[in-house]
Structure 1
Amino acid sequence: MTGEAQLGLIQRDRARLWHPYAPASPDLPLWEVEAADGVRLQLRGEDGTRHEVVDAMSSWWSAIHGYRHPVLDAAARRQLETFSHVMFGGLTHAPAVELAERLVDMAPGAPGRPALERVFLADSGSVAVEVALKLAVQFQTASGYPQRQRFLSIRGGYHGDTFAAMGVCDPVDGMHCAFPGLLAGNVFAPRPPAAASATPESIRAWESELEEIAAAHSGELAAIIVEPVLQGAGGMHAYPAECLTALRQVADRHGLLLIFDEIATGFGRTGELFAADHAGVVPDIMCVGKALTGGYLTLAATLCTGEIAAMVSAGRAGALLHGPTFMGNPLACAVANASLGIIDDGGWRADVARINAGLVAGLAPAREFGAVRDVRTIGAVGVIELHDDVDVTAVSSAAIRHGVWVRPFRNLVYTMPPYISTAADIDQITAGMTAAVAHVHDGVAARSGGVG
């Protein structure tokens, strides 16, 4: 241990840790975070260089209120003074009850549709999806349809890295195509048309194909699961809200449950509190996570209607067959309540609108780059899509030199900034993104001498 301690932190990390979607490699590019405050990270490189950067990623879309937020910090301290964890089997506590009540009050609703009124607290987004899929199958079985064991999803989707969740992700272009023999054989409809270029005709054509696929497989399907309006890790693909209405209608016609995965889109990210609200559609089951605790602690939730909860509870198993050890963690629930309290104040809507305006203006110059296929925004999301895969290390390093932290993937350089980002912060993010893309992929720096 003494020898290891003498090495730099990044070297020690490379020797022992494994990072997400990365090889176990002594050459893995890493930056040490020395501090975080507001929207800024203090980074230290392996050579000792230090950079203050705006976090354009909200720590994978979760830190919507920024770092060291006084309201969230205070909520964590208060709960620590009481207890940080107890098992949820046979016990309950105030933070969990309050959180369930808040989520039910915030959930999408519409006249004539059953309300989302029952909450299962999970410990990550993937687990929330696993619970949703189990719930759908148990509901169908208890309803007298035990053959309904499969799911209808849409191409381009991403729902998590655990096995059932992987099984409803894109089976060809997704990151889980390495496990074809292990994943469930589900049914996939085409990806909806892009919001920016969709026409009434293209939407109707997609709806027709969706209906045809659902009709052909309805006897074996338990539910439809989608990311509403915006597909995240599957390509940052925004699609028309009218497609949600079609999904609701198809599900109802064929006796299927409708599951909305709002883990990335929930709590204001797309410009509405939930992406479902863009169309006024209410799902039967909804998953939330990521921003639920403002990025402080891992926590997710699966909401469902009272009818589903009653049917599953009356079924042969007599219970929903899932129970994470850290389910309903009081510390996480307390911070989540504080985070949702900030959301309840309503300022997020103006924040997201301001961010969107800055992203639209700031990313526009990237449309002129030859390496760029598309530039698009929705709510507090901005995307530069390239024709070819991104050089992740080079683009990240170039952005850091411009005071911005981004983490590209596939052919996308994107941002989902914290809602507290100022206009100046958004200007810095967009300038850093466009400069990094120009320097690494477009040769603009070499031609103009202006960025790099």
Structure 2
Amino acid sequence: MENLLEHVWLPYTQMKTARQPLQAVSTLGSVITLSDGRELIDGIASWWTACHGYNHPHIVAALRAQLETMPHVMFGGLVHEPALKLAKRLADKAPGDLSKVFFVDSGSVAIEVAMKMAVQYWLNRGVSRSRMVSFRYGYHGDTMACMAVCDPDESMHALFKDYLPKQILAELPVDEASTAEFDALLAREKHNVAAVLIEPLVQGAGGMKMHDATTLRKVAEICRKHEVLLIADEIFVGFGRTGTFFACEQAGVVPDILCVGKGLTGGALTLAAAIARPHVYDAFLSDDPTHALMHGPTYMANPLACAAANASLDLFETEPRLKQVAAIELLLREGLEPCRTLPGVLDVRVKGAIGAVQLETVDAPALREKFAERGFWVRPFGDIVYLTPAFTIEERQLNALTAAIREVLKR
């Protein structure tokens, strides 16, 4: 058998013991076709990105048209119509007065830029505040600054916790005691804290942990009370995944900086953004050139990616995506709730087009193989088996996925 791993270093994988990966050759809708001819119904939309399903003809057409005119041009000293159009549309879609769009090329970089914005926001005002507050089970990316604001013990980055800048870990204010604790923390540390980071409603890679809109609202109110910036990491939950276009909408919260990515291009190309409110942006306006935001990824605002993102926004405007998410939520509840009675199952959680079954123990590689043998692409991690399907998934496909989870976990 050909060794597919001879020259490849896979993510989140111990290469010494890694099983041979499956080789994909094509995608369509919610189906991945493998090199051996097998078809897998995809339950996770390629790390939550392909919200319209794979190869949507409208996105493909937009990419082809842009490819023929300008695949890429630098965004330093030059701008282009796809980016200008996308920035305005994102400003129009974002909650409140979030309106200043800084494009980057990945979600982790969006978080890095947001933290950099927050620190420099205070520096430009003559104040030194460099620490960040994030929450237990939080996950914000794999780059160095992002690892520092992930849960130091419960995330996959525990190995690095002694080598990263020391940030502040808090408990989400889910009840009276934890709310008072968070309030006291910011009262005590506010002169050192540049910003609080939160994944609104669902903490994704930290285990699909879910909290309600009241908790999110409390975080925003306490940040405002103590004059600390709030960064909302909607890289996973944005673009309809939790049932509203942005998760913050469900709490009526307008963060100071909103980070988006993943579903931004409908899973076609990598693109992300940090979107700031005017008061954040205005702190960088000065006759002093050192007050500018000194950041600029080489491929920021890539025209191809911007064309895909504009096409994706078209689909949110012309096709019933949020209604589809509401229907998916009902099917996930119906299909996964029976798992609650199975041995080894600790919890079942559903929010929008996100469903998770939490287990006592998970042998992720073995479970992936069992799902693939049955014709499904499901990728458990940590202690959960989860589904984050395309919003366009067919009802029969989603029912088959939840049935497969019930069957595999029962066995």
1:252 lines up with 2:224 in the alignment:
yes
Q: SS of the residue aligned with 1:35?
A: strand
* Residue correspondence of structure 1 range 40-51 to structure 2 within 5 A: 40-44=31-35, 48=36, 50-51=37-38
Offset of residue 346 of structure 1? 5.5
Q: SS of the residue aligned with 1:178?
A: helix
* Residue correspondence of structure 1 range 82-101 to structure 2 within 5 A: 82-101=69-88
**Which residue in 1 is equivalent to 2:24?**
33
- How many residues are aligned here? 410
Offset of residue 393 of structure 1? 1.7
Offset of residue 344 of structure 1? 2.1
**Which residue in 2 is equivalent to 1:197?**
none
**Which residue in 2 is equivalent to 1:312?**
284
**Which residue in 1 is equivalent to 2:11?**
20
Q: Deviations over 1:99-130 (max 9, x none)?
A: 10010000012xxxxx1110000000000000
Q: SS of the residue aligned with 1:313?
A: coil
Offset of residue 240 of structure 1? 1.4
Q: SS of the residue aligned with 1:429?
A: helix
- Could you tell me whether the CA contact under 8 Å between 1:39 and 1:67 is conserved in 2? yes
1:144/1:73 CA distance change after superposition, 3 Å: same
Q: Deviations over 1:129-149 (max 9, x none)?
A: 000000000001112212x00
Query: Distance in 2 between the 1:206 and 1:212 partners?
Result: 10
Query: Distance in 2 between the 1:119 and 1:324 partners?
Result: 14
Equivalent of 1:369 in 342, 358, 368: 342
**Which residue in 2 is equivalent to 1:76?**
63
Q: Deviations over 1:155-178 (max 9, x none)?
A: 110000001111111011111111
Q: Which amino acid aligns with 2:140?
A: H
**Which residue in 2 is equivalent to 1:188?**
169
- Could you tell me whether the CA contact under 8 Å between 2:112 and 2:145 is conserved in 1? yes
1:119 lines up with 2:101 in the alignment:
yes
Query: Distance in 2 between the 1:137 and 1:27 partners?
Result: 40
Query: Distance in 1 between the 2:359 and 2:127 partners?
Result: 45
**Which residue in 2 is equivalent to 1:60?**
47
Q: Which amino acid aligns with 1:137?
A: V
Query: Distance in 2 between the 1:318 and 1:84 partners?
Result: 32
- Could you tell me whether the CA contact under 8 Å between 2:5 and 2:20 is conserved in 1? no
Offset of residue 181 of structure 1? 2.9
Offset of residue 27 of structure 1? 4.2
1:144/1:419 CA distance change after superposition, 3 Å: same
Instruction: Give the % identical residues.
Output: 43
CA RMSD of aligned residues (A): 1.3
**Which residue in 2 is equivalent to 1:132?**
114
**Which residue in 1 is equivalent to 2:323?**
350
Q: Deviations over 1:378-427 (max 9, x none)?
A: 00011110012x11122111112222111100110000000001211110
Equivalent of 2:397 in 425, 441, 447: 425
Q: Which amino acid aligns with 2:248?
A: A
**Which residue in 2 is equivalent to 1:360?**
333
Query: Distance in 1 between the 2:326 and 2:171 partners?
Result: 30
- Could you tell me whether the CA contact under 8 Å between 2:231 and 2:257 is conserved in 1? yes
Structure ID, larger Rg = 1
* Residue correspondence of structure 1 range 50-449 to structure 2 within 5 A: 50-109=37-96, 115-146=97-128, 148-193=129-174, 203-314=175-286, 317-345=290-318, 347-388=320-361, 390-439=362-411
Q: TM-score, normalised by structure 2?
A: 0.97
- Could you tell me whether the CA contact under 8 Å between 1:124 and 1:299 is conserved in 2? yes
Query: Distance in 2 between the 1:332 and 1:239 partners?
Result: 32
Offset of residue 26 of structure 1? 6.7
Structure 1's unaligned 5+ residue stretches are 1-6, 110-114, 194-202, 440-452
Q: Deviations over 1:240-276 (max 9, x none)?
A: 1111211111111212111000000000000111110
Query: Distance in 1 between the 2:221 and 2:125 partners?
Result: 20
Q: SS of the residue aligned with 2:285?
A: helix
Query: Distance in 2 between the 1:27 and 1:252 partners?
Result: 47
Offset of residue 205 of structure 1? 2.0
Query: Distance in 2 between the 1:258 and 1:26 partners?
Result: 41
Q: SS of the residue aligned with 2:291?
A: coil
Query: Distance in 1 between the 2:289 and 2:121 partners?
Result: 11
Q: Deviations over 1:289-342 (max 9, x none)?
A: 000001110000000011211112326623112110001100000000000111
Bigger shift: residues 413-422 or 137-146: 137-146
Query: Distance in 2 between the 1:354 and 1:181 partners?
Result: 45
Query: Distance in 2 between the 1:308 and 1:140 partners?
Result: 9
Q: SS of the residue aligned with 1:357?
A: helix
Query: Distance in 1 between the 2:319 and 2:202 partners?
Result: 22
Q: TM-score, normalised by structure 1?
A: 0.88
Query: Distance in 1 between the 2:237 and 2:125 partners?
Result: 31
Query: Distance in 2 between the 1:184 and 1:346 partners?
Result: 44
Query: Distance in 1 between the 2:294 and 2:176 partners?
Result: 39
Query: Distance in 2 between the 1:386 and 1:141 partners?
Result: 45
- Could you tell me whether the CA contact under 8 Å between 1:399 and 1:435 is conserved in 2? no
Structure 2's unaligned 5+ residue stretches are none
